[in-house]
Amino acid sequence: MEEIEGMEVLKSHLGLTSKSSGANPTAEEVENNDLSDKSVSNEIEEDLEDELSGADFNIDFDVNGVEDIWKINLKNMSIKDVMKYHFLNVEVAFMFYNWYAGIRGFAARKSKILRNKNGEATQQTFLCYRQVYREEKVGSSSRKREPKAQTRCGCEVNCRVHIEITIGRWYIKYLNDCHNHTLVDEKYLGMLPAHRKITDYDKFQMDNMRKVGIRTTHMFRLFAHQAGGYDKVGFRQRDVYNEVAKDKRSDFSDAGAALEFLATMSCSDEMLFWRHSIDENGRLQHLFWCNGVCHKDYEVFWDVLAFDATYIKNMYLCPLVVFSRVNHHNQSIVFASSIAGNEKEETYVWLLVMLVEAMRGKALTSVITDGDKAMINAIKRVLPNSHHRLCVWHLLCNAATNISNTRFIPKFKQCMLGYYEIDEFEQKWENLIAEFGLQGKTWVLDMYGKHNMWAASHIRGNFFVGFMTTSRCEGLHSFFGRYVNYENNLLEFLQHFFCAMSYTRYKEVEADFSSS
């Protein structure tokens, strides 16, 4: 069988290779061609009726699927030759005609269906994509966005297929191929909707790429790389966005899908712990989770904990709270995580209660946070026996905000981090306040009231695994930000988050191998 030029492109769902034959015809040529075409079609129809009366179709012209269509060279075929083919069903007939349309420089669409008294389809009409005219919409003429381009021009090209009841085969009964518009150049055919198609395998690839956090614009770039160019992909970037959006809408409830995802994971991870709460309107409010690996890490490194909240990118802009520490390789590890509805004291109380419950009541020895008042009060209520340290970096930032004198910051830092005896610290603090005239300033009084949470002289003797700041938490947030983005709903957020967690475990395995 002769190979069709551009077969690889055709197999990429475009169904197109050849350019249209010539420029737009004149009105006189259109009229003459129309009369000629109709006479030819009538002759062919009469011949077919004679051939079909009591006779079987020629097996050489069987078309039973897309594989058979690919083998046919329609580029220089006459209308009489095209009408010799017969088809397994009406769907195969439409694929054939749309393939033929791509070769000629236009696209096909389906129209009327004729049925018998039993409701069975006996005839189907296929049209040129520019058939009839666009209907004017009734209503307000104001429009927020620009109107779409006019594509309908009343083109009367059509193809009518009919079924031969005796043998159940479909054949072309009438074919009019005289257009009243310029045919599309080959390089533009892939832009027509009828020649764009996302296959099941393409959807499978998109689903996998979504689960690992690949953005939609990067998906299209990958498809173009695999196909050998953007023009060979078989669909447009807009189609990818539409397909991704359709998958998101298919989830009846985002929150329900997220909870179902965690329930499914618990089947393969018996130690997976997850809890959620709902608000007065019945909507998901807080979600807490930790898997089996997190439990094992906590059993070994349970004594020190750092946690912080950040508005990491997600569809709902909910704060992500990560409870973390470092392992024996000085790598950040995660004990548990949560998406919280807000940053109120009661929220942090609920999160810490869930953490203690997940870790079977094994309380922490030391905690370091950024100094948020709600966090401080929650830790006092849930972990009263834990040593709480405030982040040095946040304290210095607050000092710079509240004290305008730049010479204050280095002396305050020296007072905060110096390992002095208690009496010596008290004296240095009094001297610092007197030097800058800060007696009675609210921020200074508040800071001194919490000096046992930041002054090295008072913290000395408590273990914080070298933590003086929450920069580890912020580094983790930055890391997770590579896997999630503002387009992610709750289900996608969890999928991408666990993917990121898996990578951190892999890095630990690498470090174990190097140290061994």
Lowest-pLDDT range, 135-144, 174-183, 249-258, 338-347?
135-144
The answer to whether residues 246 and 266 touch, using CB atoms and an 8 Å cutoff, is no
Q: Is the pLDDT confidence value at 350 over 90?
A: yes
For residue 11, the model assigns a pLDDT of 44
pLDDT of residue 4: 39
Provide the pLDDT for residue 429. Answer: 92
Which of 393 and 38 is assigned the larger pLDDT?
Answer: 393
pLDDT of residue 198: 83
Q: 15: which DSSP letter?
A: -
Q: Read off the pLDDT of each residue in 137-146 and give the average, rounded to a whole number.
A: 59
Q: What is the DSSP letter of 182?
A: P
Dist. CA 176–CA 329, nearest whole Å = 75
At 2 the pLDDT is 38
pLDDT at 22: 39
* Strand runs labelled E in 93-205: 108-115, 121-128, 158-164, 169-176
Q: How far apart are CA 302 and CA 318, in angstroms?
A: 27
Residues 151-176 pLDDT 10s: 778 888 889 999 988 888 999 999 88
| Res. 289: pLDDT tops 90 | yes
The residue that leads in pLDDT, 506 or 10, is: 506
The 10 Å CB-count burial string (b at 16+, else e) for 84-103 is bbbbeebebbbbbbbbbbbb
Residue pair 338/494 in contact by the 8 Å Cβ criterion: no
Look at residue 110 and tell me whether its pLDDT is greater than 60: yes
Walk across the sheet containing 332-339 and list its strands.
273-278, 284-290, 332-339, 320-326, 304-310, 366-369, 387-390
Query: Which of the pair, 224 or 31, is modelled with greater confidence?
Result: 224
Question: How does residue 20 score in pLDDT terms, banded at 50, 70 and 90?
Answer: very low
CB atoms within 10 A of CB 295: 18
In this prediction, residues 43-70 reach a mean pLDDT of 65
CA neighbor of 269 nearest in space, from 286, 290, 254, 287: 290
High-pLDDT (> 90) share of the chain, %: 18
Query: What is the average per-residue pLDDT within 244-256?
Result: 71
How many whole angstroms separate alpha carbon 463 and alpha carbon 471?
18
- Mean residue pLDDT across the chain: 80
Q: pLDDT tens digits, residue range 491-502?
A: 888 888 888 889
Burial of 180 (0-12, 13-18, 19+ CB in 10 A): middle
φ/ψ (deg, to 5) at 479: -65, -45
Q: What is the average pLDDT across 370-388?
A: 89
292 in helix, strand or coil? helix
- Tell me the average pLDDT across 248-254: 63
- What is the tens place of the pLDDT at every residue in 402-449? 988 889 999 999 999 988 899 999 999 999 999 988 888 899 999 999
H or E segment at 426?
Answer: helix 422-436
Prediction pTM value: 0.61
Tell me what pLDDT residue 111 has.
Answer: 86
| 307 pLDDT above the threshold of 60 | yes
* Residues sharing a CB contact under 8 Å with residue 117, sequence separation 6 or more, in sequence order: none
Categorize the per-residue pLDDT at 351 as very low, low, confident or very high, splitting at 50, 70 and 90: very high
Chain centroid to CA 484: 9
What is the DSSP track for 326-377? Answer: E-TTS-EEEEEEEE-S---HHHHHHHHHHHHHHTTT---SEEEE---HHHHH
Q: Which pLDDT does position 28 carry in this prediction?
A: 44
The answer, yes or no, to whether residue 513 has pLDDT greater than 90, is yes
* Residue 312, pLDDT score: 59
With a cut of 50, say whether residue 6 has pLDDT above it: no
Q: DSSP letters along 48-74, please?
A: HHHHHTT-PPPGGGEE-SHHHHHT---
**Distance between CA atoms of 293 and 364, rounded to whole angstroms?**
18
In angstroms, the Cα distances linking 290 to 91, 262, 338, 477 are 50, 10, 9, 17
The predicted structure's pLDDT at residue 147: 64
Handedness of CA 215, 218, 219, 220 (dihedral sign): positive
Burial of 393 (0-12, 13-18, 19+ CB in 10 A): middle
Least-confidence region, from 256-265, 326-335, 399-408, 463-472: 463-472
Query: In the structure, what pLDDT confidence band is assigned to residue 249 with cuts at 50, 70 and 90?
Result: low
Residue, of 171 and 145, whose pLDDT is higher = 171
What's the confidence (pLDDT) of residue 427? 92
pLDDT at 464 over 60: yes
- pLDDT of 300 strictly over 60: yes
The predicted-structure confidence for 221-235, as pLDDT tens digits, reads as follows 888 888 888 877 878
Q: 3-state class of 437 per DSSP? A: coil
User: What pLDDT was estimated at residue 7?
Assistant: 40
pLDDT at 346: 93
pLDDT for residue 45 is more than 70: no
Query: What's residue 318's pLDDT?
Result: 82
pLDDT at 251: 53
> Alpha-carbon dihedral of residues 437, 439, 444, 446, nearest 10 degrees?
-170
pLDDT band at 19 (very low <50, low <70, confident <90, very high): very low
Q: State yes or no: pLDDT of 204 exceeds 80.
A: yes
pLDDT, greater one: 190 or 383: 383
Residue 10 has pLDDT above 60, yes or no: no
Query: Which region holds residue 71: left if phi is over 0, alpha if psi is between -120 and 50, else beta?
Result: alpha
Going from the C-alpha of 438 to that of each of 394, 414, 445, the distances in angstroms are: 20, 17, 9
Q: How far apart are CA 496 and CA 488, in angstroms?
A: 9
